Structure 1
Amino acid sequence: MPGWDWRRRQCEAERMDDPNLAESAHRQALRELARLNRWGLAVWHLWPKLSGLARRLGRSLRILDLATGGGDIPIALAKRAARRGWQWQVAGCDVSPTAIAYACEQAQKHQVAVEFFVCDVLRENWPGDWDVVMCSLFLHHLREERAVALMQRMGEAGRHLVLISDLERLPVHYGLVWLATRLLCRSPVVRADGPISVRAAYSISEVRRLAQAAWGSGFRLRRRPPARWLLVKG
């Protein structure tokens, strides 16, 4: 059991956000975060909502992933869509040039046409016209007022759908993430940041309160194993 009061968020700086982080350490962390996203079933959680929307609209989707990091989630979604004959327009943005350079390399490696660009999503406009705006493992970085402001902007920019996924702050999830970062990862950055992220994460009731402040109603919030929640608007 972690020695902290899990009923309250405990926010501290993550190593990944250090502007002085060595590029080699940053790239290693991005590779291993992709592995953790696979373990955390990130794409599996998102796919039913996206594929359902594609069938309803009967056309290609335009999807923007905010704070995309190494881009593994939009790349995986684009690959899965292509296997079904859907040519989606998928893009990802991040404040880190290192992360975007890595994501572009991964898109080329996997032979998918995903566009990545540098953007501070909290301070800059998001170019483009999007059916879906989403983010994963980003909300826990933000104070409540910034989280609400981001969610409001996502609701305005996502014409048909908003998807937000993150960790849920619970002791059992702290233990799961601590163990996963030790078993699946060698990066000191990921091993440090994983547990920090759980301590900073929002609880289900806190997420519901944020969504009500941002949108009022018209959203759905569900737990998703092994340690996340998924918030859906649209």
Structure 2
Amino acid sequence: MTPGFPSLAERAVDAVEEMDRPDADPRRLERTYAQFWLINAVVSGWRRNYVRYLRPLFREAGGGSLLDIGSGGGDVARSLARWARRDGLDVEITGIDPDPRAHAFASAQPAVKGLTFRQAFSSDLVAEGQVFDVVISNHMLHHLTPEQMQALLADSRQLARHLSLHSDIERNPWAYALFSIGTRPFFPGSFIRADGLTSIRRSFTREELLTVTPPGWQGRQHRPWQNLLFCPPPGRVPGLSKEA
């Protein structure tokens, strides 16, 4: 392990991110939501995911619908909506988050055509009989208990007509070290740095993730330090190849 940093041999399942606490400082929390777009642009890889996995599917269908579960401040959903419109694709995107603070922040941002937000759990949409062409989540799996994760994956299979794609951080000593050093001078007054380090400690390796994933899902690693879960695998989704 890198000197001066904690061991990442096992998941820190008991560690709690500050923004997840019900009594989190509202100003720091709002600043965190406002800064997520930069972190996600650098580390989450959704532009790559859109180009490789989502755009081919929507081009073949001439458009479609997408659900972002746990959309937080809404920056990933906002980016996907803009990229789709720029490519001439008619894609309706819904972002859901059960946290009223996240929903309030996302809903207060400038409107983007084809994008709506709801305060809801994925189970609420299952109960309503909703279906979307694509279901995604970003950096959410590591937040969940084993029971919550199984429920989320089951919900996403019911909600997705064609593809479920969940992206999460991969626990790695170098990821921890680089994030710790790279974010030290930045993001004052927010939870970005502290919670990002906690997220890495809580996240899965690829092997760990596959051991807790139900049958029918495929795991894939993307660098730097990202895990993707697909259902069904890309080779069985219209518009996507196994080598996408």
Secondary structure at the aligned position of 1:221 is classed as strand
Counterpart in the other structure of 1:221: 219
Deviates more, 1:146-155 or 1:90-99: 146-155
TM-score by length of 1: 0.89
Q: Which amino acid aligns with 2:27?
A: S
Q: Which amino acid aligns with 2:132?
A: W
1:84 to 87, 90, 95: 87
1:162 to 157, 161, 164: 164
Whether 1:62 aligns to 2:65 is yes
Q: Which amino acid aligns with 2:66?
A: I
1:200 to 193, 199, 202: 202
Q: Which amino acid aligns with 2:33?
A: L
Q: Count how many residue pairs are aligned between Structure 1 and Structure 2.
A: 226
User: Counterparts of 2:116 and 2:110 in 1: how far apart (Å)?
Assistant: 8
User: Counterparts of 2:28 and 2:113 in 1: how far apart (Å)?
Assistant: 25
Query: Per-residue deviation at 1:174?
Result: 0.9
Q: Which amino acid aligns with 1:73?
A: V
Is the CA contact 1:46–1:163 (under 8 Å) kept in the aligned structure 2? no
Secondary structure at the aligned position of 1:86 is classed as coil
Secondary structure at the aligned position of 2:210 is classed as helix
Whether 1:51 aligns to 2:55 is yes
Query: Per-residue deviation at 1:202?
Result: 0.8
Counterpart in the other structure of 2:240: none
Q: Which amino acid aligns with 1:52?
A: P
- Per-residue Cα deviation, 1:179-212 (whole angstroms, up to 9, x for no partner): 333244223411210100000001100111222x
Secondary structure at the aligned position of 1:115 is classed as strand
- Per-residue Cα deviation, 1:151-171 (whole angstroms, up to 9, x for no partner): 122112111000101110111
1:232 to 222, 230, 233: 230
Q: Which runs of 5+ in 2 are unaligned?
A: 233-244
Counterpart in the other structure of 1:117: 118
Is the CA contact 2:167–2:226 (under 8 Å) kept in the aligned structure 1? yes
Q: Which amino acid aligns with 1:147?
A: M
Whether 1:14 aligns to 2:12 is no
TM-score by length of 2: 0.85
RMSD of aligned alpha carbons: 1.9
Is the CA contact 2:29–2:190 (under 8 Å) kept in the aligned structure 1? no
Q: Give structure 1 regions of 4+ aligned residues with deviation exceeding 6 angstroms.
A: none
Is the CA contact 2:66–2:94 (under 8 Å) kept in the aligned structure 1? yes
Query: Per-residue deviation at 1:107?
Result: 4.2
Secondary structure at the aligned position of 2:195 is classed as helix
User: Counterparts of 2:186 and 2:5 in 1: how far apart (Å)?
Assistant: 24
Secondary structure at the aligned position of 1:202 is classed as coil
Is the CA contact 1:45–1:224 (under 8 Å) kept in the aligned structure 2? no
User: Counterparts of 1:52 and 1:199 in 2: how far apart (Å)?
Assistant: 34
Secondary structure at the aligned position of 2:109 is classed as helix
